[in-house]
Structure formats: C-alpha cells, structure tokens
C-alpha cells in the first residue's frame, strides 16, 4: 500500500503487519558428573522464553509509514538450556512504537485492540515457552530422565494496523479548501499544502493552545460528493473523524470551480456526514457540534461572494 495522488491513492495509515514471536529454547538433558560420583543427578536446565512482539503507543510515532516500509517483524528465540542448571536466556521482546489511536485487527477484520493513550501496550505475538530440562522433569519414579522437552514455537501471523486519529476537533471540507493551511496557522503542525486536490493523504494532528485550554485538531483528507459511496478517498476519511467530538467545516469562499459555492459545499459535506451515520451506527457524526470556518476571504472573489449572507439568502437568490 503506498501513498500517491489521484483517485487511486491509498492511505499508509493502514498496514498489514506480519509478526513472528520468538520460539522457546529447548530444554537440556544432562547428568551431573563429578570424579568418583558417576551417577550425579540430572542438571539439564530449561530453555529460555521466546521474545514477544509488542505494540506500544508512543507520541513520537506519527504514522504507520515505518511498518509500510518494513512489514515483517520478528522477536528473538529463547536460548537452549544447558547442563549445570544453566537456564537458557530469554529472547528479547520487540517493542514496536505505534501512534495514539492505532486499532489492531485480525486478518479477517475482527478488532483485537484499540490502543489509546501513551504507553498502552498490546502483545500482538506471544513468544513460546522454553522447554523443560531434565532436572525439571525428574520425579520420584524417574530420578534422572534421559530426555528434555523442546521449546514451543512463538505465535506467528498477520495483523492489520489502522490509524484512527484521536483529536478533539476534525476539519472537514472539500479538497483544497485550506484545511491543512488552517492547521498550520493554528498549531505547530507542518502539513503539506498545495493547490491540487488530495494533497493530504494521511491526517495531520495539531495541538492548539487558546488561553488556558489546549485542544487537538485533526486535518484530514478532503471529502467530495459521493465519498460515502467510495468516491475520492471515500470511506478512508471516516475513521479519522469518528473519534472527534466536534467537526469544523472549512469552506472555500473563492473556489473557481463552476457549480460550487460555500453554501452548496456545506450541504454536500453535511449529506456525506449523514450517509456515514448509517455506517457508524450508534455514534452518529451528524449529532456532533459543528463549527464553520469561512476560508480564503482574502481573495477578492471570496470576500465579495454576492450570495453569502446566511442560508436564508439562498432561496431568495
Ligand atoms: N488566498 C488564500 N489561499 C489559501 C488560503 N488557505 C489556503 N489557501 C491555498 O489553497 C490551496 C490549498 O490549501 P490546502 O491547505 O493544501 O488545502 P486542503 O484543504 O488541505 O486540501 P487537501 O489536502 O487536498 O484536502 C493552497 O494553495 C493554499 O496556499 C487562504 O486563506 N487564502
Ligand atoms: Mg490538506
């Protein structure tokens, strides 16, 4: 899956990750030997535990791009046990940093974990247990077993990681309305800004300080009419606004495109939000408070847009 421009664009905030946990080390069969003591007890130790593959929310991880580039991750195997009661070393865990709001799904779409909050962890592949050595297998009946157990294999498989942004306010609007420009102006975020549609392919998060309050804003990819049926970037956008408590419409007051104006753009986006509600079920988007941002009013055609004096002027004009 790669980021690209145009209607074939895909998000890199959805990746299939192939994980392999470490296998447990084998147990050891060994008999203690000492001069003049030919039948010492069993002293073969257990193998070490295989390493886990763990996902951990880390605020330094902004995207899943890293796992798009290297989708195969493996933890180390446990070491074999040895004679003289020397237990095999455990295989090291592999901790993979993921952004806040990463959802972990099985290959067939079942949600396994929803990772929200710095430091939240999920063991995505568990390492195998080390095999028992013959010392641990000794019993009253069999004082010195001549065998040991093999280590267990670690978990292995594919999981799907999806990023669902966690932001208080989500900016919604047509492509090129100026959502990324707005978040760049409000916060320290430095998103890509350009005058072609679908510049933003992965969401940008910004932290906005206003007096004593701090809130987060998500700049998400542009929406177009029919997005709920898959046009443009379609439903991909949905998961980024799903968790936001407030939606802010960014309206382009100076679009040169024929047939578009701020009011009809607003209505198109509202219709899309309602269409998404059927998909979201019990967490409707259309119930959430909305803000409206009139953008590009510095452009002469925008500032003087003749019909803009509120929704009621529309029927009159
Ligand atoms: N004149 C003017 N231009 C603006 C304003 N805000 C944004 N622009 C320009 O509009 C174009 C699109 O801006 P972006 O911020 O990339 O728009 P976007 O909504 O993030 O677009 P997508 O990511 O494609 O959905 C850029 O060329 C910006 O420089 C504004 O207030 N006034
Ligand atoms: Mg943008």
Torsion 165-281-247-257 (CA) sign: positive
Please name the residue that has the structure tokens 């028992």: 132
Give the Å distance between the CA of 203 and the centre of ligand 2: 8
With a Cβ cut-off of 6 Å, ligand 1 is lined by 173, 175-181, 193-195, 197-200, 221-222, 295-296, 298-299
Residues 259-269: what's their mean pLDDT? 92
Closest ligand 1 atom to 184 CA: 15
Is 102 in the same domain as 247? no
Q: How far apart are the CA of 296 and the centre of ligand 1, in A?
A: 8
Mean pLDDT of all residues in the chain?
A: 86
Specify the ligand 1 atom closest to the Cα of 175.
Answer: 25
Whether residues 113 and 204 share a domain: the answer is: no
Q: Name the residue of 180, 224, 251 whose CB sits within 8 Å of the most ligand 1 atoms, as the mutation to test its pocket.
A: 180
The verdict on 44 and 159 lying in the same domain is: yes
pLDDT for the residue numbered 18: 98
pLDDT digits (tens, 9 = 90+) for 144-186: 899 999 999 999 999 999 888 778 899 999 999 999 999 999 9
Find out whether 193 and 212 touch, Cβ atoms under 8 Å. no
The domain that contains 57 carries what CATH number? 2.70.210.12
Q: Are residues 114 and 228 both part of a single domain?
A: no
Residue 279 pLDDT:
79
Task: Assign 6 a pLDDT band (cuts: 50, 70, 90).
Answer: very low
Lowest-pLDDT range of 129-143, 235-249, 262-276 = 235-249
Q: How confident is the model at residue 1 (pLDDT cuts 50, 70, 90)?
A: very low
The preferred substitution site among 175, 177, 178, 269 for testing ligand 1, maximizing ligand atoms within 8 Å of CB, is 178
Say yes or no: 59 and 190 in one domain.
Answer: no
Report the percent of the chain where pLDDT is more than 90. Answer: 52
> Are 45 and 142 in the same domain?
yes
Of 123 and 211, the structure prediction assigns the larger pLDDT to 123
Q: What's the rounded mean pLDDT across residues 110-121?
A: 94
**Residues in the 5 Å CB sphere of ion ligand 2:** 180, 199-200
Give the Cα separation of 285 and 278 in Å (integer). 10
Instruction: For the chain, give the DSSP string.
Output: ----SSTT---SSEEEEEEEPPPPPPP---B--BTTBTTPPB-PPPPPPPPPEEEEE-TT---SHHHHH--EEEPPPPPPPBTTTBPPPPPPPEEEEE-TTEEEEETTS-EEEEE-STT-EEEEEPPPPPPPPHHHH--SS-SS-S--PPPPPPPEEEEEEEE----SEEEE-STTSSHHHHHHHHSS------SSTT---S-EEEEEEETTEEEEEEE-----TTGGGT-TTGGGGHHHHTT-SEEEEEEETT--STT--HHHHHHHHHHHHHHHHHHHTTS-STTS-EEEEEE-TTSHHHHT-TT-S-TTHHHH-
Instruction: Give yes or no: residues 109 and 57 share one domain.
Output: yes
Task: Using alpha carbons, list the distances in angstroms from residue 65 to 61, 143, 222.
Answer: 9, 55, 20
101 and 157 assigned to the same domain? yes
Task: Please determine, for residue 2, whether its predicted confidence score (pLDDT) is greater than 50.
Answer: no
CA of 179 to the centre of ligand 2 (A): 5
| Domain span holding position 41 | 1-163
Q: Of 148, 163, 178, which residue is a domain's last?
A: 163
pLDDT beyond 80 at 44: yes
* 202-257 residue pLDDT tens: 788 888 888 888 888 999 888 888 887 878 777 777 777 888 889 999 999 998 88
Question: Does 35 share its domain with 121?
Answer: yes
Residues 20 and 159 in one domain: yes
310 band by pLDDT with thresholds 50, 70 and 90: very low
pTM metric for this prediction: 0.64
Q: How far is the CA of 3 from the centre of ligand 2 (A)?
A: 14
Return the ∠ at Cα 59 (arms to 54 and 61), rounded to 5°.
Answer: 65
Q: Read off φ and ψ for residue 53, nearest 5 degrees.
A: -105, 120
Q: Is the pLDDT of residue 12 over 60?
A: no
Ligand 2 centroid–CA 248 distance in Å is 14
CATH number, residue 178: 3.40.50.300
Average pLDDT over residues 135-145: 91
Q: In this structure, are 141 and 210 located in the same domain? A: no
Q: Choose one of 141, 163, 185: the last residue of a domain.
A: 163
How many structural domains compose the chain?
2
| Residue after which a domain boundary falls, among 104, 135, 163 | 163
| Residue of 191 and 76 predicted with greater confidence | 76
Q: Are residues 134 and 213 in the same domain?
A: no
How many angstroms separate the CA atoms of 106 and 7, rounded?
27
């Amino acid at each position: 899956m790669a980021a690209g421009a145009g209607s074939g664009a895909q998000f890199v905030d959805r990746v299939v990750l192939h994980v392999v946990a470490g296998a447990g080390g084998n147990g050891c069969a060994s008999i203690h030997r000492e001069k003049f003591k030919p039948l010492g007890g069993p002293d073969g130790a257990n193998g070490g535990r295989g390493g886990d593959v763990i996902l951990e929310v880390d605020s330094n991880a902004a995207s899943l791009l890293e796992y798009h580039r290297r989708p195969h991750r493996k933890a180390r195997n446990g070491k074999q046990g040895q004679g003289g009661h020397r237990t095999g070393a455990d295989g090291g865990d592999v901790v993979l940093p993921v952004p806040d709001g990463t959802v972990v799904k099985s290959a067939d779409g079942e949600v396994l974990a929803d990772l929200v909050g710095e430091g939240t962890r999920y063991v995505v592949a568990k390492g195998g247990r080390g095999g028992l050595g013959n010392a641990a297998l000794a019993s009253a009946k069999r004082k010195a077993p001549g065998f040991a157990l093999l280590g267990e294999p670690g978990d292995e498989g594919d999981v799907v990681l999806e990023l669902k942004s966690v932001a208080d306010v989500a900016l919604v609007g047509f492509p090129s309305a100026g959502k990324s420009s707005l978040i760049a102006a409000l916060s320290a975020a430095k998103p890509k800004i350009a005058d072609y549609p679908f510049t933003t392919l992965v969401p940008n998060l910004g932290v906005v300080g206003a007096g004593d309050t701090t809130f987060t804003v998500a700049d998400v990819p542009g929406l177009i009419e029919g997005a709920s049926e898959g046009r443009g970037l379609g439903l991909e956008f949905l998961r980024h606004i799903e968790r936001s408590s407030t939606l802010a419409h960014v309206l382009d007051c100076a679009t040169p495109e024929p047939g578009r104006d701020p009011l009809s753009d607003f209505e198109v986006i509202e219709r899309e939000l309602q269409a998404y509600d059927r998909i979201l079920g019990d967490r409707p988007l259309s119930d959430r408070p909305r803000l409206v941002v009139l953008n590009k009013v510095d452009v002469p055609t925008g500032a003087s847009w003749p019909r803009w004096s509120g929704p009621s002027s529309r029927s009159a004009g």
